[in-house]
Structure formats: structure tokens, C-alpha cells
Amino acid sequence: MGVIVAKRASRGRTSVTAHAVPPPASGDPLLDFIPVPRVAPRRNSLTEPRQRAFIAALAACGVVTEAARSIGASLEALYRLRAAPGADGFRAAWEAALDRGLARLEDLTVARALEGEERVVVANGEVVHRYRHYNNALTMFVLRNRRGHRYGAMREEDLKPGHPVYDRLRAAWIAEENDPEKIAQIRASINAKLTKTREAVLARRASEAMESGTSALAAVESAVRARLARSDGRLLVVGVTGAQGSGKTTLAAGLVARLRDDGVRAAALSLDDLYRTKAERTALARDVHPLLATRGVPGTHDVALGLDTIAALERGEPAPLPRFDKGADDRAPIAAWDRASAATQVLVLEGWCLGARPQDAEALEQPVNALEADEDADGRWRAHVNAALGGEYRALFDRIDVQVLLEAPDFGVVPVWRAQQEEPLRRAGRGMDDAALARFIAHYERLTRHILREMPPRADLLLRLDPDRRIRSLRQKATDTR
């Protein structure tokens, strides 16, 4: 006997237009929109009658391409018309017509879940059996979306005010307890427990993501969402610290993109964008120490500018985000700055020395490399940097709510990572040579080594990287839920 094959029975046309319905009647409110006016229309212009014909066809078939073909118009012409001045009515009618098509698609999905689909068994080229196949996954999809309160999956992070289960339990507790003070205590206890549960779930997901090889972004996003859930509307400042080339800028941009995709108002600001102007650093080099002409170390940033930016966001105001032009080695014009929206919820602040604490005086006595031995023999430069960390930088770093550390295996890998960053610039003829790059990195060595020693125990989220920047372990500090 030949091979038996089970397959769907042929249903003729399979495109979405197979499910088209008659177009709207002339009195249908959908067609009662104000068309885009056409001045001196040409023979092939999208005149008012053709606009109405397109909307009618779109409502009937639900597919823009099919509707365009039905009136002999190109997609380019229709989308240009949609974007034209005075096209508000046309755009609204377009969206309403698509909604009708989606409503039919939903009805067809329900019908398919209820009625199933015919399948046949073929042997030796002949149909030997017919049966109806019912798609359980499709059925559950329909039930979860149409009867979510009954069939939807219950997640710990969903159990919060507004959820039917939460509201039902809350009503029962209030009915049992009439003492307002006791009710307030119960409510606070419930909210604290729910917050702790949500944070535990998100932390577990972060750990699972690391075990399965997911990027650092998943772990940081989970930690941030856990803190955001209990931020009480206050601006959440996330600090991302990492040595040069560790990937902190990429991580910050990815986190902001994910949060924005989920409707969270988020913005990113780099410590690098807070550098003092070239003129200000030139004055520091003249008055304090020549090494301060090179941007990067504490003392070369405009900390007040960063604090003012955070203060504006805390007040719920839209705020310009400073930008530094590294090509010009100077602050970019304000017209080139990005802008954070009003009521920003999360600010991701990233930088190589973000959150660093000053060293003990004894640690400053011996130079750590040739740059310090040859150009800072008396220690004035490193003392100035250390004093800045213990002074004005403290106010900026104290505003960090979630401290993330991308921990390099050791300082030895940092020159390799930084050289990889420099390679595209070298290919373009603008990068530093090996000697210049080594001198540049030497400015950062002392504090980078210090951060790798002192920050890991106190970081809220520690991501230990291997030499290829893959995560080899993750540690999340227990969160105080008071």
C-alpha cells in the first residue's frame, strides 16, 4: 500500500479577498467623509469619487493592495494622498475601513475555531478518509482574547489594582474589616507582598534568561521593571557602569527602546555628554594640571548640568538632553541636543565611572602606570580627580536608584575592547594609533581598577562578563521593599 498522507482539503481561493463582503451602501456613514480636495485634477488623479470607491473597496476586502487595484491606483499615490494636507477625513475613513476588515477576520477566526476544517487522508493517490480537524490552540487563543477574565493565564505581575481577582479579594477583605486604620494596614501589606512577588518573578526571569544565554538587556530590563513597579510615579534613574568598550552605551540604548515599545516614557543620557566645554578644560589644564585637558576623568564633567537635567525631569517637564561632539572635542550646540518628553518615567544614565567612590588617600600615593609616574609625579592630578569624586559628583551619583555594573574580567581586557571600538575610526583615517590609544586608556586605568574592586558588592545588578563580553554570571542584590 502506498504512503498515507493527511492534508487539508482544498478550499479554492486562499487569499484574504476570498472572504470579501459587498462594499458599503451609498448611505453608509463610512463613506460620509470629507475627501482630499483636488485642484485641476488630471485624468488619472485620485478624485473625490475615486477616493470614496477606494474606501468602499477597502471596507469590503480589508486589504489595501486589493482596494488600490480595484480603482486602478498605485499604493504610492494613495499613501501620498493620505499624508497630504487636508487628508484628515480620508485617513480616518481609511482606518475605519481597515477596522471593518479586522472585525471580519476576527469573526472568521471564531468560526474556524468552532467549525474546524476538513482534512483528508490520501493513499495511492486517492482520498480514503475525510475528517474535521479542530485546532485547540486557535480555540484557546479565541477564548483568552474574548473571555480573558475566565480563560486568560494568571500572571503574578498582573495581580494589581484593576485586575478582577485583586479587586474581588480586596472587596472581601474590606467587608471583613471595618476599621479604617486596619484596612489601610491590610492594603499596604497586600501591595507590599504583590510588589515583592512581581520583583521575585522578574528576578527569576532575569536569571533564567542568563542561563539560556539571553543578552544582558533581558536581565537589566527585568530589574528595571521590578523597580519601576514600585516607583510611585517618581523618576527612576538607572545607572549603567562599565569599563571602556564593555557595551554600556549599546545596553542603555536597547533598554530605552524596549521600554518605549511598551509605552514607558524613557530617555538615555551619557556621562560623556556632560563633559565641560573645550575652553573650560583648557582653563583647568592651565590652572590645575595639564592632564585635565583630556576629557574623561572626574573633574572634566559639568555635574551641575546633569543635576539640572534630572531636576527638570523630576518636575515632569520636557527637558533637553545635553550632547557632546567628540569630533570637535566640544559641547554640541543646543539645537543638536535630543529632548526627553514630559512626564519621563525612566532615565538611563551610563558612564565608565558612574557611581564610583573616592579612593583612600594612601591609595593615591603610588602611580599605577607610566602616565602617572611621568606626568603626575607629585600626584596633583589624581588628587584633584579623587576630590571631585568625593565632592560634586556625589550629588549626581546619589540620585541613581538602580546601579548596574558590567564587570570586565580584569583591566587587561579593557585595551583590547577599546581598540575594537577604535578600529572603525582607524579605517576611516581618523582613529588613534596604538601609542596614542595606550596613553588615552592610561588616564582611566586607576579608577577602572578601583571600580572593579569596590563596586561589585554594592551594585544592584552585577553582570560578570567574559573577554568576549558574554555574561558568565549574574547577581542581583536583594531589594528593600519598605
Distance CA(82)–CA(71), nearest Å, equals: 16
Is 359 within 8 Å of 386 (Cβ atoms)? yes
Distance CA(465)–CA(176), nearest Å, equals: 53
* Predicted local distance difference test score (pLDDT) of residue 121: 80
Residue 467, helix vs strand vs coil: coil
Of 78-82, 283-287, 341-345, the poorest mean pLDDT is in 78-82
Distance CA(316)–CA(231), nearest Å, equals: 14
Is 302 within 8 Å of 392 (Cβ atoms)? no
Residue 386 lies in a domain: yes
Residue 84 lies in a domain: yes
Distance CA(48)–CA(89), nearest Å, equals: 12
* Predicted local distance difference test score (pLDDT) of residue 25: 80
Residue 481 lies in a domain: no
Mean pLDDT score, 67-85:
90
Mean pLDDT score, 374-401:
96
* Predicted local distance difference test score (pLDDT) of residue 453: 96
One DSSP character per residue, 318-357 reads -EEE--EETTTTEEPPGGG-EEEPTT--EEEEEETTTT--
Task: Using the predicted structure, report yes or no on whether residue 103 has a pLDDT greater than 70.
Answer: yes
Are 202 and 328 within one domain?
A: no
Distance CA(260)–CA(151), nearest Å, equals: 29
β-sheet bridge partners, residue 239: 349, 403
Are 321 and 351 within one domain?
A: yes
Are 453 and 309 within one domain?
A: yes
If one counts every other C-beta atom within 10 angstroms of the C-beta of residue 230, the result is 17
* Predicted local distance difference test score (pLDDT) of residue 212: 41
Residue 268, helix vs strand vs coil: strand
Residue 99 lies in a domain: yes
Interval 404-454: pLDDT, tens: 999 999 999 999 999 988 888 788 777 888 899 999 999 999 999 999 999
* Residue ending a domain, choose from 120, 137, 152: 152
If one counts every other C-beta atom within 10 angstroms of the C-beta of residue 343, the result is 13
Mean pLDDT score, 393-407:
96
Look up the domain containing 93 and give its range.
1-152
Of 109-118, 138-147, 292-301, the poorest mean pLDDT is in 138-147
Are 226 and 96 within one domain?
A: no
Instruction: Between 205 and 128, name the one with better pLDDT.
Output: 128
Contacts of 244 (CB under 8 A, 6+ apart): 352, 414, 417, 418, 421, 441, 444, 448
Are 220 and 258 within one domain?
A: yes
* Predicted local distance difference test score (pLDDT) of residue 482: 30
Mean pLDDT score, 188-216:
58
**pLDDT-based confidence at 150, cuts 50/70/90?**
low
Are 247 and 342 within one domain?
A: yes
Are 268 and 253 within one domain?
A: yes
Task: Using the predicted structure, report yes or no on whether residue 461 has a pLDDT greater than 80.
Answer: yes
R_g (Cα) of the chain, nearest Å: 31
Question: What are the C-alpha distances in Å from 326 to residues 26, 430, 441?
Answer: 62, 12, 16
Are 1 and 73 within one domain?
A: yes
**pLDDT-based confidence at 133, cuts 50/70/90?**
confident
Is 332 within 8 Å of 325 (Cβ atoms)? yes
Interval 5-54: pLDDT, tens: 555 554 444 344 445 567 788 778 888 899 998 777 777 788 888 989 99
Closest alpha carbon to 220 in 342, 326, 346: 346
* Pairing outcome for strands 402-407 and 471-476: unpaired
Distance CA(348)–CA(266), nearest Å, equals: 8
Of 132-141, 219-228, 371-380, the range with the highest mean pLDDT is 371-380
Interval 335-344: pLDDT, tens: 889 999 999 9
Angle between helices 88-115 and 48-61 (to 10 degrees): 20
Distance CA(346)–CA(255), nearest Å, equals: 10
Residue 43 lies in a domain: yes
* Predicted local distance difference test score (pLDDT) of residue 183: 67
Of 7-21, 92-106, 131-145, the poorest mean pLDDT is in 7-21
Closest alpha carbon to 252 in 333, 352, 393: 352
One DSSP character per residue, 5-32 reads EEEEPP-S--SGGGG--PPPPTT-GGG-
Of 166-170, 230-234, 366-370, the poorest mean pLDDT is in 166-170
* Predicted local distance difference test score (pLDDT) of residue 294: 93
Task: Using the predicted structure, report yes or no on whether residue 481 has a pLDDT greater than 50.
Answer: no
Question: What percent of the chain clears pLDDT 70, i.e. is strictly above it?
Answer: 84
β-sheet bridge partners, residue 126: 123
* Predicted local distance difference test score (pLDDT) of residue 16: 43
Are 51 and 132 within one domain?
A: yes
* Residue ending a domain, choose from 214, 231, 251: 214
* Predicted local distance difference test score (pLDDT) of residue 340: 95
Mean pLDDT score, 311-318:
95
The three-state DSSP-derived secondary structure of 404-418 is EEEECCCHHHHHHHH
Q: What is the CATH number of the domain that holds 407?
A: 3.40.50.300
Are 383 and 454 within one domain?
A: yes
Grid cell, residue 2, equals 502506498
* Predicted local distance difference test score (pLDDT) of residue 22: 78
* Predicted local distance difference test score (pLDDT) of residue 358: 97
Domain count, the chain: 3
Of 64-73, 229-238, 341-350, the range with the highest mean pLDDT is 341-350
Average pLDDT taken over every residue of the chain: 84
Any idea what DSSP says for residue 275? B
Are 201 and 244 within one domain?
A: no
Interval 251-261: pLDDT, tens: 999 899 999 99
Distance CA(333)–CA(165), nearest Å, equals: 53
What's the sign of the alpha-carbon dihedral 119, 121, 126, 127? negative
Residue 162 lies in a domain: yes
Are 350 and 336 within one domain?
A: yes
Residue 482 lies in a domain: no
